[in-house]
Amino acid sequence: MRRFWLLAAVPLTLWIVHEGIFTYRASHMPMRPYIPTFLTGSLSAVVFVKVDLWIKKTEFIFQWWHTTIVRVVEALAIAMLLSVCFRGLLFDWVYENPAPAPKGFPYTSAFLAVIFVIEMINPSCVSTMLEWNVLRFWGKISFSVYLMHSFVIYNPTVSAQANYFDRFFSRLFFILALSTATYYLVEYPSLLFAQRMSKFLESTEKRI
């Protein structure tokens, strides 16, 4: 839609937020309740690309007051994210949450999207903290964590431990170990194989 992409983005954003707030989500459900989450990520990527291209095209430079406004918006997004996650904070200190209390997982994707887009466009100390090696490693194995965590969480031996912290650290250790092994034994070799296949197919097409 080129210049008119906002005509699709605005109603899609409204639908995503509505579905995110009012749709019930819990662990291990069908894909349908999680569609707003995936669309939030896709839409935020589109917004970033459009804004980044505009900044490069116009040679826009952030002035101090631009940066101040951006940081205020980012701080508010972080505060709202924490308030929704912990079901309090601003909602106790400032104003009651106008959205209905979620029966399942709360919708946090919109706040995360705002934070990530801002940090990619105008980085701050937040992105520096997110670049911590521990977080980067968990990000690298995150898909393996997504696939393998259920085998640990629902393991009867681990779940039978009476002490909460024993269960927590046992799960943390075994999920980390299992996901790391899966990443290096399966996921990473698969990525290398896919890269080799892509190069092979590309060279084959050139010869043809």
Cβ–Cβ under 8 Å, residues 177 and 155: no
Q: How would you write the pLDDT of the chain (208 residues) with one tens digit per residue?
A: 567 778 888 888 899 888 888 888 877 777 788 888 888 988 999 999 999 999 999 988 989 999 999 999 999 999 999 988 888 888 888 888 887 777 788 888 899 999 999 999 999 888 888 788 888 899 899 999 988 998 999 999 999 998 988 999 999 999 999 999 999 999 999 999 999 998 888 888 777 6
- CB of 48 closer than 8 Å to CB of 117: yes
pLDDT of residue 2: 66
Rounded-to-integer distance, Cα 121 and Cα 20, Å: 25
Q: pLDDT at position 171, please?
A: 94
Q: Where are the domains of the chain?
A: 1-130, 132-208
What does the block give as tokens for 39?
């669309």
Tell me the two tokens of residue 114.
């705002």
Beta carbons within 10 angstroms of residue 74's beta carbon: 19
Residue 108 phi, psi dihedral angles, 5° rounding: -120, -5
155 three-state secondary structure: coil
Contact 119, 126 (CB under 8 A): yes
Question: For residues 25 and 33, is the Cβ–Cβ distance under 8 A?
Answer: yes
Structure tokens at 53: 């291209």
Residue 34: per-residue pLDDT: 83
Would you state the pLDDT for residue 21? 84
Element (H, E) at 208: none
Report the alpha-carbon distance of residue 18 to residue 16 in Å, rounded. Answer: 5
- Amino acid type, 119: E
Cα angle, residue 82 at apex, residues 78 and 88 outer, rounded to 5°: 135
